[in-house]
Amino acid sequence: MLILQTVAELKDWVREIKSAGHTIGLVPTMGFLHEGHLSLVEKAKAENDKVIMSIFVNPAQFGPNEDFDRYPRNLERDQQLASGAGTDVIFAPSVEEMYPRESQIKISAGRQADVLCGAKRPGHFDGVLKVVTKLFHLTEADLAYFGQKDAQQLAIIESLVADFNFPMAIRRGETIREKDGLAKSSRNVYLSGAERDEAPHLKKALEMGKALFMQGYDPIEPMTQYLNEYTSGKIDYIELLDYPTLTADIQNDAILALAVQFEKARLIDNIIFQLKGELSHA
């Protein structure tokens, strides 16, 4: 496995691979890898000749009071995990390499960013769009892989690719969970012991909410009560929307999503399901 840290090195490698007629799958990450990330590499390996994983904690997507500085980082450990999963190249640029000058052009998410995390983290998805646009161009990826764990991000990136005719396609990966249901996340290391014990209630609240909704009830209030009773975290939002449009008018797939702020970690989770009641396969 190669580890490339500069744009020039990456471009050279991409040119070689493309001129040999090979396809490239891209798995963008912020590192501190877990099985969620590795499941995306597995999917990418099955569908592409070569797999690039980017590891870049992107300052553009963090707000001024968010956790950019203390976001967990461990490139050495990441290299072992990525290599074990069959990644061909890690692209791990510095902030200066990725953003050598102030951008003169702004990319801005549309209406899909007005709800859920977008409403709570102003500018977050603009920062995501900025970095993925650069990564898509630099890697010339044929396919790029994103997890349903970050369902709003996935929906917005699908819109970017569709609206601007990026010559590639986005693939969705299902949310990978711990045995007790907690969605895997790099930020889980910041949960205290007691918070870690409470955290599986997020998924339980989602399942309860889905069951209530399917029986014709509004799930938001009972879910709020449940989370307030069983966790010490502060609810940031609980919302039920159409997916992937993220409008209130639910047509085919619905997303039930929540964010809970614990002492040092803000956790998000969601489930996406068809109105018929079957889990939709992302």
What's the rounded Cα separation, in Å, for the pair 3 and 118? 33
Residue 36 or 93: which CB sits closer to ligand AMP? 36
Residue 67 Cβ vs ligand AMP, minimum distance, rounded to whole Å? 12
Count residues contacting ligand AMP (CB under 6 A)? 17
Active site residue 37: yes
Out of 37, 124, 137, 281, which one is annotated catalytic? 37
Residue 75 or 248: which CB sits closer to ligand AMP? 75
Residue 26 or 213: which CB sits closer to ligand AMP? 26
Q: Which two tokens stand for residue 195?
A: 């918070």
First to last CA, the chain: 29
What's the distance, CA 106 to chain centroid? 21
93 contributes a contact to ligand AMP by CB under 6 A: no
Ramachandran quadrant class, 216 (left: phi over 0; alpha: psi -120 to 50; beta: rest)? left
Residue 218 Cβ vs ligand AMP, minimum distance, rounded to whole Å? 28
Residue 47 Cβ vs ligand AMP, minimum distance, rounded to whole Å? 16
Residue 40 Cβ vs ligand AMP, minimum distance, rounded to whole Å? 6
106 to 145: interface string for ligand AMP, x by CB under 6 A: ----------------------------------------
Residue 85 Cβ vs ligand AMP, minimum distance, rounded to whole Å? 13
Residue 208 Cβ vs ligand AMP, minimum distance, rounded to whole Å? 20
Q: List the interface residues with ligand AMP, window 13-72 (CB under 6 A).
A: 29-30, 36-37, 39-40
Residue 50 or 124: which CB sits closer to ligand AMP? 124
What's the distance, CA 178 to chain centroid? 17
Residue 159 or 175: which CB sits closer to ligand AMP? 175
Residue 40 or 256: which CB sits closer to ligand AMP? 40
What's the distance, CA 166 to chain centroid? 19
Q: List the interface residues with ligand AMP, window 146-205 (CB under 6 A).
A: 146-147, 149-150, 173, 175-176, 183-186
Instruction: Identify the CA nearest to 82 among candidates 54, 108, 47, 118.
Output: 54
Question: Interface residues with ligand AMP (CB under 6 A)?
Answer: 29-30, 36-37, 39-40, 146-147, 149-150, 173, 175-176, 183-186
- Residues belonging to the active site: 37
